[in-house]
């Protein structure tokens, strides 16, 4: 690959500045977008930014700065599709110029510019490294090269390498990439066409080329035919053409149209409506252009020299104009003037055994002086017919000689059950309901259930499960229908299996056997959260209320007790020493397993039967309130004392105990 490094900076810079700069945002002048430099891609490092001072830009208001990254690269890929022809001929030269600078420090940071040439698939065909540079002031660098064949892209890569310090002080500014002006692909500037005569092939088409290099002898073709050296095509018919120009390896195409010379053109197509279905309509044509020797035809009839057609019935027609070999067509509708039309019929059905139906015709069109008849009877001026029994009728509208018929049917306001809204009875109770929906009648309906007294409401409440006959009456009309109220039984607790709770523990269980009810059942103990399982575990000794609830919210309750197993004792001391030393100072009962027994009463007697201490209804787990060896504030003598107490055990049984305790001093 041959690279020419041009030393004459001034002349080359002048050449580049006169051409289109192919690099976008070449001087980092555009504002940052989300902190990034527009049109450029960060490849290495992520601190590339626009800098405006320290140092000042070479030109403009900004330049490229890599930030603090030790090694950073920024690149831009440029498409060369407009130069493909010259490139593939091997004679397309590109020119690059730019300015670089590094801050004066030891050693200074380095700038490098790489130019990669790529094919359409991004395969690298050549790569040119410019630098590294470490100029302390803005210094221009200039290069030129001939692009290899098949080059379709050029990638400009700016490389900044930190040599010392904490910032990467290597800068780039005023970048430019240009091509020799004669290398840009040619384009088709315009096509000029002379129209063809009607039905003839005498049109002409000419092609003009815009500025662009002529690589070889240009050749021209239309619609894929053989190429020719002339840009002019003759003997063409009126149509669209695809024009193709070939110059070396470059091919350009464009669509061109050859029109028709002075064809006939319809200016107006007028029609006169036929009246009431008669053949008295007309069509007239007016031409905007033509030779003056035009002929006219209607539908498939023969051509005539006059542009007017008479004696037409209402309908759609095709009009055709022939002028030499040119033919144009259009369509037009001949209307039916003032024809009356029955747009709608409004009907009120007759009541049971009463001729009180009505028919109202909604009529549009016509002269407005129409008359109306029902079943061929005398015509009347109003479109409303009353006092009609149920049945079929023929309505007729007469407007002059025009007659329009419509079949109508007056129905009977018979009573018809639409639906029943039924609520089933639940929980073995009479809480079901039936609500009837009935159509027809005059709106004064009454309802009865199983032949009982009638009521105005269609709803019947407090019904048990079963079949019911609902009868509706309206005037002389009566209708009956049967409806069924379902019965959803409440759930039944068939059995309860319990296991005892070990004394002082919560290990009792309860297993329910349940049947009946609606849908899924749920279970609760003592009003707590419902569960789907019939088993309750970890139960303490005591009484419980079991509740079963089904999907219809029916509930059933039962009482159950969990009894105790094992030895649940109450310990009674046989002696105590109330000397206030903190050890065994009180006569105090102790609960085995710390069960919270209720002491109904406790009494201490001396040997003469006098009460020394008494207390009622307190918890055995209380720490205070026990006998401290005194009576009414007087210290009791040492000796034997009789105790008596009653308590309620875990099976809710009252137990009494009696014995002797010794008070030691």
Superfamily, domain 3-183: Galactose-binding domain-like (2.60.120.260)
Mean pLDDT of the 478-486 span: 89
Q: What is the pLDDT of residue 182?
A: 65
Q: Is the pLDDT of residue 367 over 80?
A: no
Confidence of residue 44 (pLDDT cuts 50, 70, 90): confident
Mean pLDDT of the 192-209 span: 78
Q: Is the pLDDT of residue 1 over 60?
A: no
In the predicted model, what is the mean pLDDT of the chain? 85
3-state class (DSSP) for residue 182: helix
Q: Is the pLDDT of residue 625 over 70?
A: yes
Per the CB < 8 A criterion, the answer to whether 344 and 354 are in contact is no
Name, in order, each residue with C-beta under 8 angstroms of 249's C-beta and a sequence gap of 6 or more: 84, 85, 88, 89, 215
Confidence of residue 200 (pLDDT cuts 50, 70, 90): confident
Mean pLDDT of the 383-410 span: 88
Parallel, antiparallel or unpaired: strands 487-488 and 425-426: parallel
Residue 206 exposed, middle or buried by CB count within 10 Å (0-12, 13-18, 19+): middle
Q: Is the pLDDT of residue 177 over 60?
A: yes
Neighbours of 59 (CB within 10 A): 13
Q: What is the pLDDT of residue 364?
A: 85
Q: How far is residue 362's CA from residue 396's CA, in Å, rounded to a whole number?
A: 12
Each residue of 201-230: pLDDT tens digit? 878 888 887 766 665 678 889 988 898 888
- Higher pLDDT: 477 or 361? It is 361
Neighbours of 387 (CB within 10 A): 10
Q: How far is residue 316's CA from residue 335's CA, in Å, rounded to a whole number?
A: 9
Q: Where are the beta strands (DSSP E) in 464-507?
A: 466-474, 477-485, 487-488, 491-499, 501-502
How crowded is the C-beta side of 49, counted as CA atoms within 13 Å? 12
Q: Is the pLDDT of residue 11 over 60?
A: no
- Higher pLDDT: 11 or 443? It is 443
CA 302 to chain centre: 62
Q: What is the pLDDT of residue 89?
A: 78
Q: What is the pLDDT of residue 169?
A: 84
Each residue of 78-87: pLDDT tens digit? 999 888 877 8
Q: Is the pLDDT of residue 573 over 50?
A: yes
Which CATH number is 341-410's, of 2.60.40.10, 1.10.1060.10, 3.40.50.2300, 3.50.50.60?
2.60.40.10
Per the CB < 8 A criterion, the answer to whether 196 and 186 are in contact is no
Q: How far is residue 401's CA from residue 233's CA, in Å, rounded to a whole number?
A: 66
Closest CA to 239 of 224, 223, 250, 217: 223
Structure tokens at 482: 């049967």
Q: What is the pLDDT of residue 4?
A: 35
Which CATH number is 265-337's, of 2.60.40, 1.10.3470, 2.40.30, 3.30.70?
2.60.40
301-305, 372-376, 520-524: which has the minimum mean pLDDT? 301-305
Q: What is the pLDDT of residue 248?
A: 64
Neighbours of 272 (CB within 10 A): 15
Closest CA to 64 of 113, 105, 8: 113
Each residue of 299-337: pLDDT tens digit? 888 888 888 888 888 888 888 888 766 777 888 888 776
In whole angstroms, how far apart are CA 444 and each of 333, 450, 458?
54, 20, 12
**What residue has token string 């009962």?**
589
Q: Is the pLDDT of residue 13 over 60?
A: no
Confidence of residue 12 (pLDDT cuts 50, 70, 90): very low
* DSSP state at residue 31: P
Mean pLDDT of the 543-568 span: 85
What CATH number belongs to 570-663? Answer: 2.60.40
Q: What is the pLDDT of residue 170?
A: 84
Per the CB < 8 A criterion, the answer to whether 346 and 357 are in contact is no
In whole angstroms, how far apart are CA 121 and each of 40, 75, 152?
20, 18, 9
Q: How far is residue 317's CA from residue 302's CA, in Å, rounded to a whole number?
A: 14
Task: Please give the radius of gyration of the chain, using alpha carbons only, rounded to the nearest integer.
Answer: 56
Q: What is the pLDDT of residue 138?
A: 92
- What ranges in 391-455 are assigned the alpha helix state H? none
Per the CB < 8 A criterion, the answer to whether 411 and 427 are in contact is no
Dihedral sign, CA of 461, 464, 470, 473? negative
Mean pLDDT of the 550-555 span: 88
**Cα first-last separation, the chain:** 123
Residue 583 exposed, middle or buried by CB count within 10 Å (0-12, 13-18, 19+): exposed
- Please tell me whether the peptide bond between 243 and the residue prior to it is cis, using omega within 30 degrees of 0: no
Confidence of residue 2 (pLDDT cuts 50, 70, 90): very low
Mean pLDDT of the 331-349 span: 82
The per-residue DSSP string of 527-580 comes to T---BS-SEEEEEPSEEEEEEEE-TT--EEEEEEEE-EES---EE--SEE--SS
Q: Do domains 3-183 and 188-261 have the same CATH topology?
A: no
Parallel, antiparallel or unpaired: strands 501-502 and 598-605: unpaired
Closest CA to 2 of 90, 86, 85: 90
**Domain 188-261 CATH assignment equals 2.20.28:** no
Q: What is the pLDDT of residue 213?
A: 60
Mean pLDDT of the 508-537 span: 91
Q: What is the pLDDT of residue 112?
A: 93
Name, in order, each residue with C-beta under 8 angstroms of 247's C-beta and a sequence gap of 6 or more: 85, 186, 214, 215, 216, 217, 218, 219
**Domain 491-565 CATH assignment equals 2.60.40.1080:** yes
3-state class (DSSP) for residue 82: helix
pTM for the whole thing? 0.39
Q: What is the pLDDT of residue 344?
A: 92
The CATH class for the domain spanning 416-488 reads mainly beta
Longest dimension (CA), the chain: 159
Residue 450 exposed, middle or buried by CB count within 10 Å (0-12, 13-18, 19+): exposed
The per-residue DSSP string of 609-620 comes to S-EEEEEEEEET
The proportion of the chain whose per-residue pLDDT surpasses 90, expressed as a percent, equals 37
Closest CA to 22 of 193, 180, 202: 180
3-state class (DSSP) for residue 625: coil
Q: Is the pLDDT of residue 407 over 70?
A: yes
Per the CB < 8 A criterion, the answer to whether 291 and 323 are in contact is yes
Each residue of 244-274: pLDDT tens digit? 888 766 787 889 888 777 677 776 777 777 7
Each residue of 77-115: pLDDT tens digit? 999 988 887 788 788 899 999 999 987 677 888 899 999
In whole angstroms, how far apart are CA 406 and each of 59, 362, 387, 396, 449?
90, 11, 19, 7, 44
Mean pLDDT of the 121-139 span: 92
Each residue of 631-649: pLDDT tens digit? 998 999 999 999 999 998 7
* DSSP state at residue 304: B
Domain ranges in the chain? Answer: 3-183, 188-261, 265-337, 341-410, 416-488, 491-565, 570-663
Per the CB < 8 A criterion, the answer to whether 178 and 15 are in contact is yes
- Higher pLDDT: 543 or 130? It is 130
Per the CB < 8 A criterion, the answer to whether 15 and 6 are in contact is no
Q: What is the pLDDT of residue 487?
A: 83
Per the CB < 8 A criterion, the answer to whether 42 and 16 are in contact is no
């Amino acid at each position: 690959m041959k690279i020419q490094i041009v030393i004459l900076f001034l002349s080359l810079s002048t050449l580049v500045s006169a051409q289109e700069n192919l690099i976008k945002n070449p001087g980092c002048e555009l504002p940052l977008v989300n902190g990034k430099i527009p049109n450029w891609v960060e490849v290495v490092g992520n601190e590339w930014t626009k800098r405006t001072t320290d140092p000042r830009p070479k030109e403009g208001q900004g330049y490229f700065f890599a930030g603090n990254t030790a090694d950073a690269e920024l690149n831009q890929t440029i498409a060369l599709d407009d130069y493909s022809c010259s490139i593939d001929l091997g004679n397309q030269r590109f020119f690059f110029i730019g300015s670089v600078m590094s801050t004066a420090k030891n050693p200074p940071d380095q700038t490098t510019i790489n130019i990669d040439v790529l094919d359409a698939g991004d395969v690298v065909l050549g790569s040119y490294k410019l630098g590294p540079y470490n100029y302390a002031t803005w210094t221009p660098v200039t290069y030129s090269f001939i692009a290899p064949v098949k080059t379709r892209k050029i990638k400009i890569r700016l490389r900044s390498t930190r040599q010392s310090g904490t910032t990467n002080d290597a800068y780039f500014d005023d970048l430019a990439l240009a091509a020799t002006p004669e290398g840009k692909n040619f384009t088709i500037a315009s096509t000029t066409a002379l129209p063809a005569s009607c039905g003839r092939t005498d049109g002409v088409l000419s092609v003009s080329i815009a500025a662009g290099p002529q690589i070889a002898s240009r050749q021209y073709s239309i619609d894929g035919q053989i190429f020719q050296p002339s840009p002019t095509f003759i003997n063409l018919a009126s149509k669209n053409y695809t024009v193709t120009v070939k110059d070396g390896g470059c091919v350009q195409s464009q669509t061109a149209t050859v029109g028709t010379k002075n064809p006939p053109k319809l200016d107006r197509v007028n029609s006169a409506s036929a009246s009431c279905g008669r053949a008295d309509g007309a069509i007239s044509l007016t031409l905007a252009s033509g030779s003056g020797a035009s002929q006219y035809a209607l539908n498939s009839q023969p051509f005539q020299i006059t542009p007017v057609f008479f004696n037409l019935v209402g309908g759609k027609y095709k009009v055709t104009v022939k002028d030499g070999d040119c033919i144009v067509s259009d369509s037009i509708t001949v209307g039916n003037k003032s024809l009356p039309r029955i747009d709608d019929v409004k009907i009120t059905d007759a009541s049971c055994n009463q001729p009180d139906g009505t028919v109202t015709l909604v009529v549009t069109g016509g002269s407005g002086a129409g008359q109306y008849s029902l079943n061929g009877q005398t015509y009347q001026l109003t479109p409303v017919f009353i006092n009609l029994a149920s049945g079929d009728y023929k309505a007729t509208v007469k407007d002059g000689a025009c007659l329009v018929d419509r079949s109508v049917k007056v129905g009977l306001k018979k009573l018809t059950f639409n639906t029943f809204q039924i609520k089933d009875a639940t929980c073995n109770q009479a809480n079901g309901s039936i609500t009837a929906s009935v159509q027809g009648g005059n709106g004064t309906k009454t309802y009865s259930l199983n032949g009982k007294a009638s009521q105005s409401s269609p709803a019947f409440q407090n019904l048990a499960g079963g079949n019911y006959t609902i009868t509706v009456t309206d005037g002389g009309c009566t209708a009956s229908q049967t409806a069924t109220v379902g019965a959803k039984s409440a759930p039944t607790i068939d059995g309860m299996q319990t296991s005892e709770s070990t004394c002082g523990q919560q290990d009792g269980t309860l297993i329910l056997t349940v049947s009946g009810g609606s849908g899924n059942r749920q279970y609760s103990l003592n009003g707590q959260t419902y569960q789907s399982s019939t088993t309750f575990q970890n139960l303490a000794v005591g009484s419980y209320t079991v509740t079963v609830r089904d999907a219809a919210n029916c509930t059933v309750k039962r009482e159950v007790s969990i009894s105790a197993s094992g030895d649940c004792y109450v310990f009674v001391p046989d002696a105590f020493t109330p000397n206030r030393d903190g050890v065994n100072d009180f006569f105090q009962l102790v609960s085995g397993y710390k069960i919270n027994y209720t002491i109904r009463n406790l009494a201490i007697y001396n040997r003469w039967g006098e009460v020394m201490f008494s207390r009622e209804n307190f918890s055995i787990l209380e720490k205070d309130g026990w006998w401290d060896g005194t009576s009414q504030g007087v210290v009791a003598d040492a000796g034997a004392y009789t105790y008596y107490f009653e308590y309620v055990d875990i099976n809710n049984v009252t137990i009494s105990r009696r014995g002797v305790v010794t008070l030691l001093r």
